[in-house]
Amino acid sequence: MKDVFHAYIIDLQNRITSALEDLDGQARFHEDQWHREEGGGGFSRVIQNGNLFEKGGVNISAVHGPLPQAMQSYFNVGKVDFYATGLSLVIHPKNPMVPTVHANFRYFEMYDENGTTVDSWFGGGLDLTPYYLFEEDARHFHSTCKMVCDRHPIADYQTFKDKCDAYFHNSHRDEARGIGGLFYDYCRADERFTMNDWLAFQQDMADHFLEAYIPIVKKRMDLNYTEAQREWQEIRRGRYVEFNLVHDKGTLFGLKTNGRIESILMSLPPKVQWVYDHHPEAGSEEEKLLQVLKHPKNWV
């Protein structure tokens, strides 16, 4: 399973980066290969200062070895070995009318002292973080997610949507990071479904990432914007940074397993503001977005 999924994400990385380069029309992804001393490594691809994308990363990795003690406590296990592979991406467009997007598709295994697999699961999801709310974009993104889920008996859209709203939540701000999408984790085989069933869903969802995001980008990328709107984008990016550094499990896992720092933190945008006690004007488009972030909606 790990070999099948790792080969799949190598192809997925190629497809996604090619599509995003075509959209940008100017910048190209720069690739770094990195190695982890304890075992494994990956390929990080980052795009910067483009015509459309201010910064973005589409990274794949496959790391293995003894599970660090800090993660043993997190998973409530003893001394075990692990293998983890996945693709993670974050794209920060320059135009504040175009939303930031995040996606992650991963697979994890644990082994006992004899090398026997004792646990394995899939996890992942995708979510959208707009700076200005276009409800038709939110409906398109969520409709694509639901369409894929509806094709797989193992995948319940509403459950995964609710988990996404709960996970990508800045509890210290009492607001969501964005307008959500799907989030699922610890997806294991049981008496009803096999790991191949989960693999089929995982690949189908990942295959439709571009279908969920690219039409939104094309619709908004040429819209005009003001400096004030750009400033709002940078303020909201600050909330994005807060989530990734305070709450995100992927960031924690990367740091605790001696991952490559540049790859782990590629999710952070290049230009961010923290304005003291900032509140948008009543009745503004900015306040409209905040209301949705404080009270998540069902989009489909």
Report, as residue numbers or ranges, the catalytic residues: 102
Tell me the C-alpha distance between 236 and 173, whole Å. 12
Report the Cα 249 to chain-centroid distance in Å. Answer: 11
Tell me the C-alpha distance between 172 and 243, whole Å. 9
DSSP 117-155: EEEEEEEEEEEEE-SS--HHHHHHHHHHHHHHHHT-TT-
184 contact partners, CB below 8 Å, separation of at least 6: 122, 123, 124, 125, 155, 160, 163
Between the alpha carbon of residue 149 and those of residues 98, 160, 166, 209, the distances in Å are 25, 9, 19, 13
Q: Can you name the residues that pair with 66 across neighbouring β-strands?
A: 81
Tell me the C-alpha distance between 70 and 256, whole Å. 7
Tell me the C-alpha distance between 261 and 51, whole Å. 26
Q: Give strand ranges (E) for the chain.
A: 30-35, 40-48, 53-66, 81-93, 100-111, 117-129, 169-170, 175-176, 180-187
